[in-house]
């Protein structure tokens, strides 16, 4: 009788269900049975599409956030950088961030999954934003041209991530962000002369 969903439609339904489970219970609490039930289907349909739970988790994660994150342009490198870090901190502190961290932890020993995560979680987008931020600072005469370097651009976010890993709590106090900017990022930019 009625409508039996197939292909695209069913796939979207599964991803939606998985995303909702992620939101409610985090990755650790997302079970295949619950996703199947919620999508009104069964595990077969899922396993035909994704080889295992982690893959589904990653695929579903993108439904939660597509995180554009344009580079802020406040006219000063310091406030730009702070703004970026604050936004990132907020994102990572949010439920989304908790899920993301759960996924990262789960994927930790599987390079394939890590690669997938990188694409999905917009690490590279982020780095590009930092680079354009630096370029603008250079044209304003606020920074030496030599400071426009991928590793310089990536440093603040890496420090923030490491901070999460070390604390295990999903929110870094604002002082830490300020310190990262004032004691590391700005001196680092200055030092490139």
Partner DNA sequence: CCGTATAGGGTACTCGGCGTACCTTAATGG
Partner DNA sequence: CCATTAAGGTACGCCGAGTACCCTATACGG
Q: Name the site residues for DNA (rule: CB under 7 A).
A: 1-7, 10, 29-33, 40-45, 47-48, 52-53
* Cα–Cα dist 104/149, whole Å: 26
User: Does the footprint of a copy of itself cover residue 141 (CB under 8 A)?
Assistant: no
For the bound state, the minimum distance from the C-beta of residue 6 to a copy of itself, rounded and expressed in Å, comes to: 35
Question: Toward a copy of itself, which CB reaches closer, 68 or 166?
Answer: 166
Question: Toward DNA, which CB reaches closer, 10 or 103?
Answer: 10
Element (H, E) at 158: helix 150-167
Which residues, at least 6 apart from 103, have a Cβ–Cβ distance to it below 8 Å? 27, 54, 57, 58, 61, 117
For the bound state, the minimum distance from the C-beta of residue 106 to DNA, rounded and expressed in Å, comes to: 10
* Cα–Cα dist 55/12, whole Å: 15
Vertex 162, ends 158 and 163: CA angle to 5°?
115
- Report 75-114 residues binding a copy of itself (CB under 8 A): 101-102, 104-111, 113-114
Q: Which does 145 bind (CB under 5 to 8 A by kind): a copy of itself, DNA, none?
A: none
Residues binding a copy of itself: what is the number (CB under 8 A)? 42
């Amino acid at each position: 009788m009625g409508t039996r969903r197939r292909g695209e439609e069913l796939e979207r339904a599964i991803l939606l269900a998985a995303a909702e489970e992620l939101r409610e219970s985090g990755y650790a609490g997302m079970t295949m049975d619950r996703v199947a039930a919620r999508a009104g289907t069964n595990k077969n349909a899922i396993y035909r599409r994704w080889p295992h739970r982690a893959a589904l988790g990653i695929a579903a994660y993108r439904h939660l956030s597509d995180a554009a994150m344009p580079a802020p342009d406040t006219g000063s490198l310091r406030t730009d950088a702070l703004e970026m870090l604050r936004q990132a901190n907020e994102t990572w502190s949010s439920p989304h961030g908790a899920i993301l961290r759960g996924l990262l932890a789960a994927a930790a020993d599987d390079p394939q999954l890590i690669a997938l995560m990188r694409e999905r979680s917009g690490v590279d987008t982020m780095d590009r934003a930092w680079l354009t931020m630096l370029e603008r600072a250079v044209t304003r005469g606020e920074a030496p041209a030599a400071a426009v370097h991928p590793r310089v651009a990536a440093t603040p976010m890496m420090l923030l991530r490491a901070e999460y890993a070390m604390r295990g709590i999903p929110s870094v106090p604002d002082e830490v962000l300020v310190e990262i900017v004032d004691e590391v990022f700005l001196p680092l930019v200055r030092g490139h002369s």
